[in-house]
Amino acid sequence: DTEVTQTPKHLVMGMTNKKSLKCEQHMGHRAMYWYKQKAKKPPELMFVYSYEKLSINESVPSRFSPECPNSSLLNLHLHALQPEDSALYLCASSPFTSGPYNEQFFGPGTRLTVL
């Protein structure tokens, strides 16, 4: 299995809703990432987990709450979002080895619309 899967593919939520995005990989990778991508812009890093511990938080608002229950799963919990948070949310994973080959592989993304 050489892919990163994300669910749901699309999500529409109101500003008072609570929802979660899910990401899964079975490549044995030990680093997982959340990115946010607006239309015609490059991905922006939000969070990085290495060995199930949060290692990087790019000053993301607390209405986004990441969770890494195990080495294969990554969640992003959403609460009280704003319309400007509408974007494509991408998950990625990388091996996190001591060698040079730690390329990041991306999932297909969840397209989020906040009304």
Partner 1 sequence: QKEVEQDPGPLSVPEGAIVSLNCTYSNSAFQYFMWYRQYSRKGPELLMYTYSSGNKEDGRFTAQVDKSSKYISLFIRDSQPSDSATYLCAMSQGSGTYKYIFGTGTRLKVLA
| Rounded CA separation 31/25 (Å) | 10
8 Å CB contact between 86 and 80: no
When asked if residue 90 is in the footprint of partner 1 (CB under 8 A), the reply is yes
Instruction: Give SS3 for 80.
Output: coil
Q: Which helix (H) or strand (E) holds 91?
A: strand 87-94
Nearer to partner 1, 38 or 77 (CB): 38
Site for partner 1 in 12-51 (CB under 8 A): 31, 33, 40-43, 45, 48, 50
When asked if residue 76 is in the footprint of partner 1 (CB under 8 A), the reply is no
| Rounded CA separation 21/5 (Å) | 11
Nearer to partner 1, 6 or 64 (CB): 6
- State in angstroms the smallest separation of the CB of 40 from partner 1: 8
DSSP class of residue 63?
Answer: T
Kindly list the residues in this chain that would bind partner 1 in the complex (CB under 8 A): 4, 6, 31, 33, 40-43, 45, 48, 50, 55-56, 88, 90, 94, 96-109, 111
